[in-house]
Amino acid sequence: MFLHSVNLWNLAFYALMVFMATLGLWDVFFGFEENKCSMSYMFEYPEYQKIELPKKLAKRYPAYELYLYGEGSYAEEHKSLPLTGIPVLFLPGNAGSYKQVRSIGSIALRKAEDIDFKYHFDFFSVNFNEELVALYGGSLQKQTKFVHECIKTILKLYKGQEFAPKSVAIIGHSMGGLVARALLTLKNFKQDLINLLITQATPHVAPVMPLDRFITDFYMTVNNYWILNARHINLTTLSVAGGFRDYQVRSGLTFLPKLSHHTSALSVVSSAVPKTWVSTDHLSIVWCKQLQLTTIRAFFDLIDADTKQDTNSWIFGCINSTSMCRQGVDLSWKAELLPTIKSLTLRLQDYPSLSHLVVYVPSIHGSKFVVDCEFFKKETRSIQLPVTHLFSFGLSSRKVILNTSGLFYNIELLNFGQIYQAFKINVVSKCSSVKEEITSIYKLHIPWSYEDSLTIAQAPSSTEISLKLHIAQPENDSHVALLKMYTSSDCQYEVTVKTSFSQILGQVVRFHGGALPAYVISSILLAYGGQLYSLFSTGHCLEYAAMLDKEAKPYKVDPFVIMIKFLLGYKWFKELWDVLLLPELDAIVLTSQSMCFPLVSLILFLFGTCTAYWGGLLSSTSVRLLSSLWLALKRPSELPKDIKMISADLPFLTVVLIIVSWTTCGAFAILLTYLYYVFKIVHLQASLTSYKNSQTVNPKHSRRSEKKCSQHKDSAAHHRRLSAGDAEDSIRMHSTVINLLTWVVLLSMPSLIYWLKNLRYYFKLNPDPCKPLAFILIPTMAILGNTYTVSIKSSKLLKTTSQFPLPLAVGVIAFGSAHLYRVPCFVFIPLLLHALCNFM
């Protein structure tokens, strides 16, 4: 019946939307390089020594603990305490384990052994009980305060030393990095307790999924503090992102908010880190051997300036020399370190007295070193390549051919700087008279952000490179993205670029996929309003799928959002907006983050309508299957003979659910209310199916029953019998309500999961983001579960109720696409009005 209400063209359209969404999802979850990270292993069995905390502190935070990492003899020696190393504190992220410290802790221990423990680091780790802080923000402040106490406890372990440390270095993974930044917002926190902060895959800009107001408030507090106090924050901060392999936290969110030139903050993608050069997923970033080795080298470099592991001196320039180099200058610091080569480009105008170049080659047995050198004019090696248009869909391409022999080329990728652009670059190398393969390196350089990536190819070959961005080019930035090609003089190269439609869809999903629930609910609200109006105007409720096709149109929503955004540019409208205490428009928030794609709202609306359609099909099918199961297990039931809005047990059930919400978790009470509502609809569907089956067997009884039912409709309003037609109308309406309520339950699930996971520590969730919603939704759904279309079609409030979903559908997009926790607030309003139609 659900499919019959949709014509074939619409069905084909919904299937096309599924195909396009699948392309985008495939690019996000599978369209990246293979995992090139080497696994880091422990040389000895890892041990985690629990640090005893003060009793008051342990009682205040019963779920949290502090550990010291160690292996072998080091672990045995330090069980007695005090410690003699340099303290480093590891903070795990969302659902993270304190044991994730073992990779970097083990590597640091091996490095200390190499220098005979001249220096060594003591790695501590906090156990946050693997809390889901990315989904529920109510415990972020509690974690921050606990970390502050941990730092003070750690520093006490070094008392009695001649040079006892007065600060710690912090490594924070995922949300642990945000907690570390939040330390500075505490009133009694001293900034000099931290000397270095490194965050790994931490979403600094905004939460990945803003599912409750506690997360967004926490982000606002932290980021506002760092921006307003930028001049006074003297803390070296490094944020490392995982690149496109990390689909849980996109790299654009990890870039620290722009502060000022006074701060020592740097944001970089792991593929741009020297000697790492790989993309990492959200978990492998803590154990990726290449990245952890680089991190530990940096730690030791900060202590001992003589080590200089990253840039050994290897090339020198002789100044004013003839046959012997009497005066030289170290040029190694100007060189670029690449996976298989070291490259140095000098402007000879900057060195007028340079006479010779000297290359230092260490004497390593069996190793072969090749030195290539050439002189060239810069303009001869810089070639411009405009990218293809966004809507060329890969049908056209642009090409450049590098015919001249050279070691280096700069391909300027013109008109490329937006996050919605995505291309495929194909580099074909052809070599003549080459007996062995030659290594070529292609480096994509993004000058306005540290998100470079490297591709190593063996010539001759054909190599495909993905071209897309994590950060859009700032408006005041005139730099051009570059494809730097380190080539062989024996080969010729052909570079082709064309638009990748699947990767464009991937960028839409990557940057805006989190807003999809808002668009789904907006479409369902439009269909819901259409059903209510059809009930008012014709006395019958049309099918959900037919109403979705008729009412869920983007031109009913997007123009209003665009108009509001335009008017907010005027001072008088902005002042009026502020007087009404309305929140900031989500479209303006996205614009400030350079996340406004052309037509992105249209694409998301189409995806949302498609999801609403298939979700409706799933829920309708589920109700029918459950009703069939009900009939198989129980005796067939009849249609209600007497329609009652408030049954005898309804007030008691409502009170019980409200008490459950108050004493435990609001999301749990919402889930119970949802199950009760579904049960009522399944029972009604089973009754209707049983009635129809009985009429098919005995048609004479059917005609008598219909006549009796028709006579019964003319009787007093307080004693109404439900006809088969009214039951079908009611089920159609209830199916749409179930679709709406399903998304409310899904959006409230994170706090429920958090509560269940921590049930052994506390019975009541505090703070509870869903409790206010539960207090309103419980009585509303209790009434709607006993509501039939026949009881509200004559209501004076029905016409007004049918008009509300349209502005609310606009409001969901305007205020809920970047703040998902607001979406349920727009859902309960029409449900409440629907319930009130029973009384007016």
661 is catalytic: no
Long-range contacts of 634-639 (CB under 8 A, 24+ apart): 636/686, 636/690, 636/693, 636/694, 637/683, 637/686, 637/687, 637/690, 638/687, 638/690, 638/691, 639/687, 639/688, 639/691, 639/721, 639/722, 639/723, 639/724, 639/727
Q: How does DSSP classify residue 118? A: S
CA quadruple 175, 177, 183, 184: dihedral sign: negative
Distance CA 308, CA 153 (A): 33
Candidates 174, 251, 687, 802; catalytic one:
174
Distance CA 836, CA 39 (A): 61
Please name the helix (run of DSSP H) or strand (run of DSSP E) that holds residue 465, with its range, or none.
strand 461-468
Please name the helix (run of DSSP H) or strand (run of DSSP E) that holds residue 402, with its range, or none.
strand 398-402
3-state SS assignment for residue 47: strand
Please name the helix (run of DSSP H) or strand (run of DSSP E) that holds residue 661, with its range, or none.
helix 650-663
User: Rounded to the nearest 5 degrees, what angle is found at the Cα of 122, between the Cα atoms of 246 and 142?
Assistant: 60
Distance CA 548, CA 556 (A): 13
User: Rounded to the nearest 5 degrees, what angle is found at the Cα of 813, between the Cα atoms of 809 and 817?
Assistant: 140
Instruction: Tell me the pairing of strands 65-71 and 398-402.
Output: unpaired
Please name the helix (run of DSSP H) or strand (run of DSSP E) that holds residue 266, with its range, or none.
strand 265-269
What's the token pair of residue 180?
Answer: 């570390």
Distance CA 283, CA 272 (A): 18
3-state SS assignment for residue 619: helix
Q: Are 467 and 455 a contacting pair, CB within 8 Å?
A: no
Q: Spell 265-295 as b/e; 16+ CB within 10 A means b.
A: bebbbbbbbeebbbbbbbbbbbbbbbbbbbb
Q: Are 239 and 470 a contacting pair, CB within 8 Å?
A: no
Q: How far is CA 597 from CA 125, 169, 377, 418, 419, in A?
A: 41, 39, 39, 9, 8
Q: Beta-carbon neighbour count of residue 109 at 10 Å?
A: 25
- Number of helices (H), then strands (E), in the chain: 24, 22
Task: Give the end-to-end CA distance of the chain in Å, rounded to a whole number.
Answer: 32
Distance CA 372, CA 352 (A): 22
Residue 682: closest CA among 753, 760, 739, 629: 629
| Omega of the bond leading into 257 within 30 degrees of 0 (cis) | no
Give catalytic residues, as residue numbers.
174
